[in-house]
Structure 1
Amino acid sequence: LADLVEGGYVDALSAGNGFATHDIERSLYGTSLGMDVETLEHPRKGHKHHIWTISEIIRAGGIAAAVDEGTLTEGVMYQCVENDVDTVLAGSIRDDGPLPDTITDAIEAQNAIREQAHEADIVIMLATLLHSVAVGNCLPSTTKTVCVDINPATVTQLLDRGSAQAVGMVTDIGTFVPTLAEYVLEGADDTESAACDDAAEDA
């Protein structure tokens, strides 16, 4: 997903406090809820990484500030800051922290998502039922919608909301997103190379 953002294929991101925290934790510590994402081992005091992550961002003054000072140097949230991607983090009562960037007022968050939604040509909903339903409620009927989730019930629930323009895909986003990124990014490179070859032949 970070590669897609860096490549300019993401105009806006709507997510929860948890998504941003997990992404930043991986960037800072290489873990997700304390588990090493590469080795699947549990490093000593790894269970504290989640809260340490939030503390680091609070200490910096926000996600953008953490990027500016060099604390955050990779990941989805980093790329969103670097590429000026409009980001809305909507809070809930389940949140740890939350991060300073998280909108804790539900009405304010909904209004921010609605502004994003009305500018969107296509929305891809990735493995988050409650947030996807909330975003779906803000979408115009003309917006193309793709719902991807490993749980068939989630996909069905989102597609059965009267959206004729919605497409559902039951699969793991852990394979879907990398495949999408590979196809889009390498496809763009192939097209560019072909265009250069054609131009060279014409010359």
Structure 2
Amino acid sequence: MPNSDILAPLPRVRRALSESSPQPRVRRTQKYLGTSEERLWDTSERNADAQALLNGPVMALGFAPAETRQLQRLFKPLGLGAFAATPRVSELGGLACASVAMSYLLVNLDGFSDVDDAVGELLQFRQTRRDVVVVLVSSDLMRDDLGNDRKPICDASLRAPLNLTQLKAGLLAATRNNSEMRALAKRTDPVAPRSFARAMR
């Protein structure tokens, strides 16, 4: 039987996330090796930088009960904040309007019936919640994308099924991409939204 706290409706999700406010993030110099697709941490700084960057409550959206339980197991050793989830992708709009202490949002793209609908919802979410690090997950993706090419809708995208190493690398890259996006937004006008449905495949 699914854990009722994991599959909580939106009002309970809001309360669960609000109980754990994100801690201030420490900015450290990040050393990457290889291409933007690989992003390997320098061994001497990996643990300290990861601990400083990965911090705050997590929300998982659109995952089935078994997938949600697996995500919760993967997040536990990362030591982030409160974990909450809802299987209903229709609640993305409500999260965009809600004043929720949420640092990370994992969205199951496979939970949407149409990719164009997903893109539209994500574009709207990003307009109001740029402070939230958004990671897309889909089994239809050919590979992980840890760059910022899809920044109007997300900070990174990961191919399902996930493993711990993949998830950690994705969260670290997404956190960095989100920080860069917000810093750039303060200096320049936002880019006009376009259709990203084709880019998602």
**TM-score scaled by length of structure 2:** 0.30
Q: Which has the higher helix share?
A: 1
Kindly indicate whether structure 1 or structure 2 has the higher relative contact order, using CA contacts under 8 Å at least 6 residues apart: 2
Larger Rg: 1
